[in-house]
Structure 1
Amino acid sequence: MNQNKILLVDGMALLFRAFYATAMSNYYMINSKGVPTNAVYGFVKHLFMATKNYGPSHVVCCWDMGSTTFRNEIFPQYKANRGEPPVELIPQFDLVKEVVEALDIPNVGLAGYEADDCIGTLSNEYSEHSEVIILTGDQDILQLLQDNVTVSLLKKGYGNYAEYQHDNFIEEKGITPMQMIDLKALMGDSSDNYPGVKGIGEKTALKLLTEYETIEGILDNLPNLTKGQRTKIENELDMLHLSRKLAAIHCEVDVNCSLDDAIFEINQERMMEKFNELEFKRLDSLLS
């Protein structure tokens, strides 16, 4: 029997990428009911191109469930630099889940956690017995790389990916996937709005992790650091530890999805009924 191949989809990453691909030129695909559908249409296109490319036996789609998570509770400024979503995107958040449901693909999410956390939890569970491919545009998910887990990062256009396995990640980055957490803890993440250690950039953080492997290793060797490095880290110890909690994908979320529910078998009639309702054309041809 062939091993299962499970595609875990970062729904929000695909939806946002699809939205901005046309929104930048003010094209929102507003249908006859006055509903913008450009993000949902592009999402489905990304999804179908990936299923055609990878041929998964199972597909699961994971979502953020609201803008507030446990990370905001421990650091209120987390992602506070992000504005409200455009009005044209807001109705598409629920609409895209309706489409995913019409494709008989499970929607998975849990309030208080991000899609990344759900993906990490399911990836750890599934990879014990199956091949897992994570489809996303978010490099943070690279920390989940391990045996049996591939991360496929969306590149410009459709059907273009940067694929990472555990070994080629180490070759390219010079650190292990798990060290990405400590890397972000040291250098911070401007897109997620936490600072890490002020004055420590990527180059220095990589150098320290290459030499001392972990934050604990760095702290155990503070006397061996330059005076500047030591001072910066000592002044920001609390933020360093907090940033690591923010950077780490939480892989013990209370979500589950039976593989029986995730078998990738689209009911063509149900799919076309939804596509016709939304006035989507030519999308089904991507499956053939």
Structure 2
Amino acid sequence: MVRLVLIDGNAILHRAYHALPLWRNQQGEATNGIYGFFSILLKVRDEFKPQYLVVTFDHPSPTFRHIAYVGYQHTRVKDRQIEEDIWGQLEKLRRSLESIGVAVFQLEGFEADDLLGTLSHQAVSTKKNSLDEVIIVTGDRDLLQLVNDKIHVLLPERGLSDTLLLDEKGVLQKMGVPPNNIVQYKGLVGDTSDNYPGVPGIGPKTAVMLLTEYGSIENIYKHLNSKKSKKASVLTPPIIEKLIQGHEGSVISCKLATIRKDVPLSLELQKAKMPSDDSLVSLFRGMNYLSLVKRITGESEVIKERPKKDKAKGQIELI
């Protein structure tokens, strides 16, 4: 099969940073997020053997979502040290990927999600690409809305040790709604990590029941005062009251949850080939990730990594 893998750089590095012990190099720079990212990349490479690879990153500037809703992502933890560790690693990761010829996309005013939405859409809608499958690697479930017969989403599970590949049936089983209803689902339940409200008081179970019965938020609201509603309908008086009070939140939440597919960028597969084993080995040796080198070559190398536990900070230092 001819496969393109699209990786959400920010989401995967964030997940790796929080899943692994905090390692620092001799310069005091955190490196665990980068290590975890490349560990996931090798897992994907070995399991799916893609011919093409693209990595996308958020741009540090405000996006159209921040402009549309001032509270967007406002509640995210703002620990100065964590922010410095993550942003420092994101920049170093981006440079490392570019140094071995990986196609990297980052665009002012847009999130990595929107770049993934656009690139995946271009990948399957352009006949000359002749792709059998596009796999999006991310920890962000908003991207499940992109899943179709050719686009699938790979979610890390249990930290970084397991992954779950979701097709259309898999999304329905995991979320309770099909891919084309993920935005509607988010419009009802909201998103605490991105800080948009949905309809306060409507949780995942109720949202699934509402969408299963009525199909869309628009249709749900059309039936709020319907005398034809069944007595056993999920639209009980308390639920109706929550929906009335939370209508504005549902509208803005749907807008914020919708991933763009029209970002001004172009996918060129000839510039998105998977990096060679030699280039990866060279990069990992330079970064002293010898365990990753062994995963490619199968051979142990002279150990230069000596993890040292910082008892005061609960960190591991690579020296």
TM-score (norm 2): 0.82
CA contact (8 A) 2:281 2:296 kept: no
1:9 maps to which residue? 7
2:247 maps to which residue? 237
2:304 maps to which residue? none
> What is the letter of the counterpart of residue 61 of structure 1?
V
Distance 1:173 1:92, change over 3 A: closer
**SS of equivalent residue, structure 1 residue 204:** helix
> What whole-Å deviation, never above 9, does each CA across 1:162-202 have from its counterpart, x for those lacking one?
11101232244442112111111011111111111122222
**SS of equivalent residue, structure 1 residue 9:** strand
Q: Distance in 2 between the 1:236 and 1:33 partners?
A: 50
Task: Report the alpha carbon displacement of residue 153 of structure 1 after superposing the two structures with TM.
Answer: 0.5
Q: Distance in 2 between the 1:101 and 1:267 partners?
A: 15
Which residue of the other structure, out of 103, 107, 118, is the alignment partner of 1:106? 103
Q: Which stretch has the larger CA shift, 54-63 or 273-282?
A: 273-282
Task: Report the alpha carbon displacement of residue 102 of structure 1 after superposing the two structures with TM.
Answer: 2.5
Q: Distance in 1 between the 2:16 and 2:291 partners?
A: 17
User: Are 1:282 and 2:291 counterparts?
Assistant: yes
1:20 maps to which residue? 18
Q: Distance in 2 between the 1:178 and 1:257 partners?
A: 24
Which residue of the other structure, out of 78, 88, 93, is the alignment partner of 1:84? 78
**SS of equivalent residue, structure 1 residue 127:** helix
Distance 1:265 1:96, change over 3 A: closer
1:189 maps to which residue? 191
Map of 1:1-288 to 2, 5 A cutoff? 3-23=1-21, 27-28=22-23, 30-66=24-60, 68-84=62-78, 86=82, 87-128=84-125, 129-130=130-131, 131-156=133-158, 158=160, 160-224=162-226, 225-266=235-276, 268=278, 270-288=279-297
Distance 1:205 1:65, change over 3 A: same
Q: Distance in 2 between the 1:79 and 1:196 partners?
A: 14
CA contact (8 A) 1:186 1:205 kept: yes
- Gaps of at least 5 residues in structure 1 are none
> What is the letter of the counterpart of residue 261 of structure 2?
C
> What is the letter of the counterpart of residue 279 of structure 1?
N
Task: Report the alpha carbon displacement of residue 272 of structure 1 after superposing the two structures with TM.
Answer: 4.5
**SS of equivalent residue, structure 1 residue 88:** helix
Larger Rg: 2
Q: What percent of counterpart residues are identical?
A: 33
Distance 1:99 1:232, change over 3 A: same
TM-score (norm 1): 0.90
Task: Report the alpha carbon displacement of residue 273 of structure 1 after superposing the two structures with TM.
Answer: 4.5
> What whole-Å deviation, never above 9, does each CA across 1:9-30 have from its counterpart, x for those lacking one?
111111112112234xxx32x2
* Paired residue total: 281
Task: Report the alpha carbon displacement of residue 231 of structure 1 after superposing the two structures with TM.
Answer: 2.5
Q: Distance in 1 between the 2:159 and 2:238 partners?
A: 43
Q: Distance in 2 between the 1:204 and 1:271 partners?
A: 47
2:308 maps to which residue? none
**SS of equivalent residue, structure 1 residue 252:** coil
CA contact (8 A) 1:136 1:151 kept: yes
Q: Which stretch has the larger CA shift, 170-179 or 148-157?
A: 170-179
- Gaps of at least 5 residues in structure 2 are 227-234, 298-319
Task: Report the alpha carbon displacement of residue 90 of structure 1 after superposing the two structures with TM.
Answer: 3.0
Q: Distance in 1 between the 2:286 and 2:51 partners?
A: 28
Q: Distance in 2 between the 1:205 and 1:18 partners?
A: 30
